[in-house]
Structure 1
Amino acid sequence: MHRVPGSVPIVPRAPAARRRLALLAMRMAAVLAGLRAGAAAAQERPDTAATVGLKAVVVSVPAAASVVGGASAIVANADSLALPAAPTLAQALRRIPFVGVRENSRGEVELSVRGSESRQVAVVMDGVPISLTWDGRADPSLVPAAGRLVLVRGLASLLHGPNTLGGVVQVRSPIGGAPPTLRMGADHAGGVSASGQAGVSTAVRGGRLSLSSSAGVRRRPGQPLPSPVSDSGAAGGLRANSDFEQAQAYVGARAEGGAGAWAGASLSVLRGSRGVPPELHLREPRLWRYPATSRSLLALSAGGPATWPARVEASVGVDAAATELEQYGDLSYDAVEARERWRDGTVTLRTTAEHAAGAHATLRYAFTHADIRHRERVDDDPFARYRQRLWSLGAEGEVALGAVQLSGGAVMDAADTPESGDKPALRPLRAAGMRAGVSARPGGSVRLHASVSSRARIPSLRELYSGSLGRFEPNPGLRPERLLGAEAGLTAAVGPVEVQGVAFRHDLSDAIVRTAVGDGRFRRENRDRMQSTGVELLATTRHRALALSADLMLQRVHIHGPTAPQGQRRPENIPSARAGLDARLDLPWNLRAQSRALYVGAQWCLHAEEERMVRLKDGTRVDGGVEREWRRGRGLAGRIRLTLDVENATDAALYDQCGLPQPGRTLRMGIELG
């Protein structure tokens, strides 16, 4: 295993690699400017610190299923990243290499890995896929960041469930073993946050019972506006309609028997409201607010004892969400012109099995079924109802031949969309996929890998039917996207330096993209082909008190085919390059400093009113922080950690997409007890 400075290890996802990670220092303003603490800005501490147990409440996909032929996973502990109290998954992922995170014009956060569109990246929380929804994706700004975060790049396995093409983000909540911790913070713009967690683990009748709970609140009056950007609706230096409130709670339990059998349960609840900052480049932008949004996720799971010939695990997830959306006529946000309300419910069943096939081979299987239901109502119109059923059945095997490991597998993905109200049933869809990979260790600490894979993504209900209060023209005739991907890479240690390089190629046929249809509206259509070619490089080192990490992603993504109009050959919101540099420095008097710099290359977006592609220039963002810690004993007052950090220290104007700049310079202070 090698580790990005801090606590983002790069591991081959084997059980022996599951080491405990610890709390991490925040960033230092103007110290080591030009360096990036990025995704790996966490740090490992002694076991006497307030560590978080890494066992998940429910089963995840077997870790070894995505090792052979794939790049190593990137693992981080949310409590070890330089984040405010009660952080969201979106905030945590902005600090992890090779993940594109952006806020769209609906106020939702989208993810991109290796040039993928956000609906091609799966998000799995406590073993339950939460991206199998009406929208076909998870909004990480509505998902609490807690416990262990794992990023799997590309199509590294066929067993993660349907519609997994670009990668997987796994969130594993902590269970037991963590002493009580309280975190509080505030920023110069009036934002405040607070969170607390506690856990206990005890022996019971030859087994073990673990319990955990956490809660948090966040509030901000608005996002600071970068000084180079003008906003006619801004007040007090804050973006118009960018306020945010959120409260979250989590409880989990896990019981383990002496023979290895176990059962787990968890419940995560989130409530909030938020504004949607208007797009600054449009004459008539969306003037939207979400006065109420909620999400509840219940996960139940169990696994058989170690004495069984196969390791069998099963889980059931219930994902329920409710949202209200209001549209206004002007920037005063006084008069509501339209209102939309919707309710989502997804029930997911998942079963995995693993068993040995001889002394050197392993077979794994996974079945996932999701029943997605959606109800929506515009103003006083009757409720419209939609339903989609997705399922996936896959099998993979791997065999070790000395220093070489081979893997192969196949999967069948399917969906049906039954008749709902005045919407006729769509024909059932079926799509087969495959994967083959090889890994080799020619000697020393060098690991080589390569793989080729093919899989399809089935359009979501929103892509097929949603009008988004008049912003989109529905297109129920969309076809599935089909991906053919390949990657090859090397991981090695050269003295104190650990390096990894991966080259990838994605060929996506029938790619679903949005096109302008006039009057400021869009329509989703299949394009002939989208091709992504790129390379990912990561290097880490440590010398005494200084730890450094650098990452670089270069990619070329183009749309090809006779149906792609001239000038729209480039996909939206996918930068050609991302580069980061991280630093962490231990200083005298028990001080610790961190800094991060992130460069984002040029990207393109579609101007709805002018119906043309617009280039967004490249830019660099610098964050930094410093902390000091005191230890005086046990309990909440036994450890005190104070932090001071600055985000976007240079007040750079970086855009997530057309007309939507990231927040400007933000100063934040925090205190942690326990």
Structure 2
Amino acid sequence: MRRPARILTACLLSLASVATAESPGDGTTAEQRIVGADTLWVITEPVVVYGSTTSGTTDPAASSVDAIVLGAQDLHAAADLAPVLPATRTVVNSRGESVFMVRGASERHIRLWLDGIPLNVPWDERVDAGLVPVDAIGSVRGVRGVGSVLEGPNALAGTIELRPQTMPSDGARTRLGVQFGESVLREGRLLHQRRQGAWEVLAAGSWRAQDGYVVPAGLDAPVNQGPSRQRLNSDLEQAALLLRLQHRNASGATWHFTWLSSDGEKGVPPETHLGADARFWRYPSVRRGLLGAGLRTPLGGGHAWELVVDAAADLFHQEIRSFDDASYTTPALAPGVGYETDDDRTGFARARATRYLERGSVAVQASARYARHRESLQFAGPELTYAQFIGAAAAEADLDLGGGWSTRAGGGWDLASTPESGDKPARDATGAAAAFARLERRLGEPLTLHASYARRSRFPALRELYSGALGRFVPNPGLAPEVQDLWDLGAVARRGAWELGLTGFASYLDGAIERTGLGDGTNRFQRVNLDAVRTLGVEAVATWRPSAAWEIGGHHSVIEARRLADGRYDGAVEDRPSYVSFLSVAWRSGGWQATAEGMALGPRMSADVTDAGDGLKRLPAQGTVNLRLARAVTGGMGPLSRGAVHLRVDNVFDALVESQTGLPLAGRTVVCGFEAWFEAWTSD
């Protein structure tokens, strides 16, 4: 049952009590230490925050999200990052997974990384970002489109890299965070960091649970919802632990080990338009363990060479229980009942050698990923085993041509094979060429122009080839790789308090893999290769800081995606909104911080197996408004050095936003929380 008045009262009382404490005049209670990272500016010191939308990069197709932005988003998981990443949105699909879509492209065109570890689950070539913890993340780097041939296979629409927090100097700090809200949301986080000389350790643990989320009051759900405003079967519980050890030596070499584990369970809200044909699923168990190691070391005299090596092991386990109806009571669990069990074992390795020249660099890289998947579709039933190998080799040069001109160009070869295919036909190994070229012109400090071309392929995931998804899909072992040709043309300008980036892009995807309704009365889908999909778009990113207290920023992307039909690009494509927009207005003064956010999603076509025509339904333009108020304080004597209390109201006007047909997102939601930092810095 909703109790927003009680939650608001409790949060406001907390804010009022904090306001009596002494605080600095500008609301920033720790030094912002800024370091260069891959041509991006990233703030690594976790400061008490407000809002920001700056990209911090000369490339408008790339963006960095620093500690300031992360803190102001009150993140529960990586899925909450989407609003601050231009042209990006999070879609909750009918499996209950939260996945990123960039520039309207398929979620399988995005690669998510953590500290050099690939997070995409190879079986499905995507990851549920709603179950990726971000408790220890200090910055995020996002690239829209293809930024380098070294990004590897399958990254057609972009990459999102999560970077753990690091300490700027010797010392120790501990952070305690708590959030609570509607539908009995409760969340606790504990983080500890310590740096001493060449050694640095990081440990972060979290636990969160919620009985479900609340739907908008105006939702008219024909079936699978009931009178309660709590979304049916939308509960979640998860615990996570991240450990990281890093060492830097005097020669400039750095190595690290990272461990991330999570264990959770959750419900899958059923489609409200399908009746008895909806997915009545639950995930009784979703467990994952990731172990990664990385090395970055200079080689040769004068550090003319650099070697970077990453390796990772991924253990993933998932269970899906399928029920008969929305009562979630039948059938009784017994041998032969529909119950999917997935076990994945994945190994990954990547090595890159870079030769630094007087005016640039040349790099060569090789990577390999081997994944083995065991699947059972019945409780205590037989298992089938599938496996996939994906390898890539590439070389790229990055050169300063003088006169403000620079270029980056490279090429490579990708290879995929399926050594094991269960009870399905075996497939021959397939390969594809990769290419990238970029030309940049700096016209002084205010203006930078760039143009680029990329060719990249995505190989079908094992689940796309072989899985029936508990009777919802018909397998298609004959799927061919998708091949994309992408052109980008962009500019970024900075002057005084303004920053503006503009990018136009054109993507041609040959053999696009899309799901289509079979139209045979079974309400089932199958993934097929379409002739081609063309996507044209324009992205604008802007920030204005009229004074030290105010920042206004946002992004707007206009997208037109059409598939080739009868020789013309006029066929509709699923889940491609005509625009994606975000606007943020942030203010801070005297320790107070306030932010208003607006998000809008343009009309788009969504899959609907009940449609007798093309199996698509048009969803209208939809949007939400969020408000946040926070109070930051510094501590006095004793261990408490700083803290903050925040109140957040998402979807203030309780608007209806559908992720897909029959899948409404949360209505008005009130969340309150606080953070406390305990720090001890070693004197120089």
Q: How far does residue 444 in structure 1 lie from its aligned partner after superposition?
A: 3.4
Q: Where in structure 2 are the equivalents of 1:634-673 lying within 5 Å?
A: 637-673=640-676
**Which of residues 286, 292, 306 in structure 2 aligns to 1:293?**
286
Alpha-carbon distance, 1:15 to partner:
5.4
Q: Which residue of 2 is the match for residue 71 of structure 1? A: 61
Cα distance in 2 for partners of 1:378, 1:9 equals 52
1:504-558 alpha-carbon deviations (Å, 9 max, x no partner): 0000010000111131100000000100000000110112211100211001000
Matched, 1:191 2:185: yes
**C-alpha displacement of 1:18:** 3.7
Partner of 1:314: 309
Report the counterpart of residue 172 of structure 1 in structure 2.
Answer: 163
Q: Distance in 1 between matches of 2:505 and 2:195?
A: 43
Cα deviation 1:531-588 (Å, max 9, x = unaligned): 0000000110112211100211001000113499x9x922111210112211111245
Query: Greater shift after overlay, 435-444 or 231-240?
Result: 231-240
CA distance in 2, matches of 1:644, 1:464: 46
Report which stretch shifted further, 340-349 or 87-96.
87-96
Alpha carbons 1:320, 1:344 under 8 Å: kept: yes
The match for 2:150 is 159
Question: Within 2, Cα distance between the matches of 1:133 and 1:77?
Answer: 30
Q: Distance in 2 between matches of 1:598 and 1:185?
A: 23
Q: Distance in 2 between matches of 1:515 and 1:548?
A: 41
Alpha-carbon deviation of 1:652?
0.4
**Counterpart residue number, 1:56:** none
Cα distance in 2 between the residues matched to 1:8 and 1:412: 42
Do the aligned partners of residues 183 and 235 (structure 1) sit closer, same or farther apart at CA in structure 2, a change above 3 Å counting? farther
Residue 491 (structure 1) aligned with residue 492 (structure 2): yes
1:584 counterpart letter in structure 2: A
> CA separation in 1, counterparts of 2:109 and 2:381?
33
Q: 1:320 to 1:623 in 2, by over 3 A?
A: same
Does the CA-based 8 Å contact 1:132-1:370 persist in structure 2?
no
Question: Are 1:344 and 2:344 matched, yes or no?
Answer: yes
Which of 322, 325, 328 is equivalent to 2:320?
Answer: 325
**Structure 1 residues 16 and 483, CA gap change in structure 2 (3 angstroms):** closer
> Shift of the alpha carbon at 1:8?
13
Amino acid at match of 2:447: V
Match of 2:132 in 1: 143
Contact 1:70 1:451 in 2 (8 A): no
Return the letter of the residue paired with 2:607: L
CA distance in 2, matches of 1:12, 1:507: 34
Tell me: CA distance 1:436–1:12, structure 2 relative to 1, closer, same or farther (3 Å). Answer: farther
Asked if 1:80 corresponds to 2:96, the answer is no
The amino acid across from 1:17 in the alignment is: W
| Contact residue 627 and residue 641 of structure 1 kept, 8 A | yes
Shift of the 68–455 alpha-carbon distance from structure 1 to 2, 3 Å rule, reads farther
Please say if residues 262 and 305 of structure 1, whose CA atoms lie closer than 8 Å, have aligned partners that are also in contact: no
**CA distance change for structure 1 residues 11 and 663 in 2, over 3 Å: closer, same or farther?**
farther
Per the alignment, in what secondary structure is the counterpart of residue 17 of structure 1? strand
- Whole-Å Cα distance in 2 between the matches of residues 234 and 100 of structure 1? 28
Look up the match of 1:457: 458
Residue 119 of structure 1: SS of its match in structure 2?
A: helix
Give the whole-Å Cα distance in 2 for the aligned partners of 1:541 and 1:267: 39
- Structure 1: tracts of 5 or more residues without a match: 27-36, 45-66
What one-letter code is carried by the residue in structure 2 that aligns with 1:579?
Answer: S
The answer for the alignment partner of 1:598 in structure 2 is 599
Q: Which amino acid aligns with 2:307?
A: V
In the alignment, what sits opposite 1:540?
543
Relative contact order (C-alpha < 8 Å, sep 6+): which is higher? 1
Is residue 549–residue 583 contact of structure 1 (8 Å, CA) maintained in 2?
yes
In the alignment, does 2:507 pair up with 1:513? no
Following the alignment from structure 2 to structure 1, what is the Cα–Cα distance between the partners of residues 338 and 44? 50
Q: Which residue of 1 aligns with 2:44?
A: 20
Deviation of 1:97 after TM superposition, in Å, equals 2.5
What CA distance in whole angstroms lies between the structure 2 residues aligned with 1:114 and 1:465?
A: 28
Match of 1:129 in 2: 118
Supply the AA of the counterpart residue of 1:592. Q
TM-score, structure 1 normalization: 0.88
Paired residue for 1:108? Answer: 97
**Structure 1 residues 96-143: Cα deviation after superposition (integer angstroms, max 9, x where no partner):** 322121100000112111221111111111112222511011221121
Q: Post-superposition shift, 1:90?
A: 0.6
Residue 254, structure 1, aligned to residue 246, structure 2: yes
Superposed displacement of residue 71, structure 1: 2.8
Deviation of 1:448 after TM superposition, in Å, equals: 0.4
Matched-pair contact (CA < 8 Å) for 2:114–2:161: yes
Q: Distance in 2 between matches of 1:427 and 1:635?
A: 66
- Describe the superposition over 1:34-59 as per-residue Cα deviations: whole angstroms up to 9, x where unpaired: xxx6x7399x9xxxxxxxxxxxxxxx
**TM-fit CA distance, 1:396:** 0.7
Distance in 2 between residues matched to 1:398 and 1:72, nearest whole Å = 17
TM-score, normalization by structure 2? 0.87
Structure 2: distance between partners of 1:364 and 1:217: 41
CA deviations on 1:250-294 (whole Å, 9 max, x unpaired) are 100011110012221010000000000011111221100001111
1:609 is displaced (CA, Å) by 2.4
In 1, distance between residues paired with 2:285 and 2:35?
Answer: 40
Q: Where does residue 263 of structure 1 map in the other structure? A: 255
TM-fit CA distance, 1:16: 7.3
Q: How many pairs align?
A: 626
Distance 1:672 1:636, change over 3 A: farther
3-state secondary structure, aligned to 1:367: strand
Rate the CA distance shift 1:78–1:331 in 2: closer, same or farther, 3 A: farther
Q: Is the 8 A contact 2:41 2:64 kept in 1?
A: no
- Answer whether contact 1:81 1:92 (CA < 8 A) is retained: no
**Contact 1:175 1:252 survives alignment (8 Å):** no
Residues 441/484 of structure 1: CA separation in 2 closer, same or farther (3 Å cut)? same
Identity among equivalent pairs (%): 29
How well do the aligned residues superpose, as a CA RMSD in angstroms?
Answer: 2.6
Greater CA drift, 471-480 or 345-354: 345-354
What residue in structure 1 maps to residue 218 of structure 2?
Answer: 228
The answer for the alignment partner of 1:62 in structure 2 is none
Q: Secondary structure at the match of 1:280?
A: coil
Of 106, 109, 126, the residue aligned with 1:117 is 106
| TM-superposition CA deviations, 1:601-651 (whole Å, max 9, x none) | 111112112343111111220001111122123666332311111000000
Q: Secondary structure at the match of 1:396?
A: strand
The amino acid of 1:40's aligned partner reads T
* Shift of residue 25, structure 1, vs aligned partner: 4.4
In the alignment, the residues of structure 1 paired with residue 353 and residue 213 of structure 2 have an alpha-carbon distance, to the nearest angstrom, of: 47
> Using the alignment, how far apart are the partners of 1:328 and 1:90 within structure 2?
27
Cα separation, 2, equivalents of 1:260 and 1:306 = 10
SS where residue 649 of structure 1 aligns? coil
Separation in 2, partners of 1:22, 1:268:
21
Deviation at 1:422, TM superposition (A): 2.8
C-alpha distance after superposition, 1:473-494 (max 9, x if no partner): 0000000000000001110113
* d(CA) in 1 for partners of 2:454, 2:539: 18
Deviates more, 1:98-107 or 1:468-477: 98-107
Give per-residue Cα distances to partners, 1:375-398, cap 9 Å, x unaligned: 011113311000000011111102
Determine helix, strand or coil for the equivalent of 1:159: helix
1:235 CA displacement: 5.9
> Which stretch has the larger CA shift, 620-629 or 174-183?
174-183
Render the CA deviation track for 1:395-434: whole Å, top value 9, x for unaligned: 1102112210012100111011113443332100000011
Residue identity opposite 2:372 in structure 1: R
After superposition, the C-alpha distances for 1:448-474 in whole angstroms (9 at most, x for unaligned) are 000011111110100000100000000
Q: 1:16 to 1:437 in 2, by over 3 A?
A: closer
Aligned partner of 2:362 in structure 1 is: 363
AA aligned to 1:327 is S
Q: Which SS does the other structure have where 1:419 is aligned?
A: strand
Distance 1:176 1:383 in 2: 47
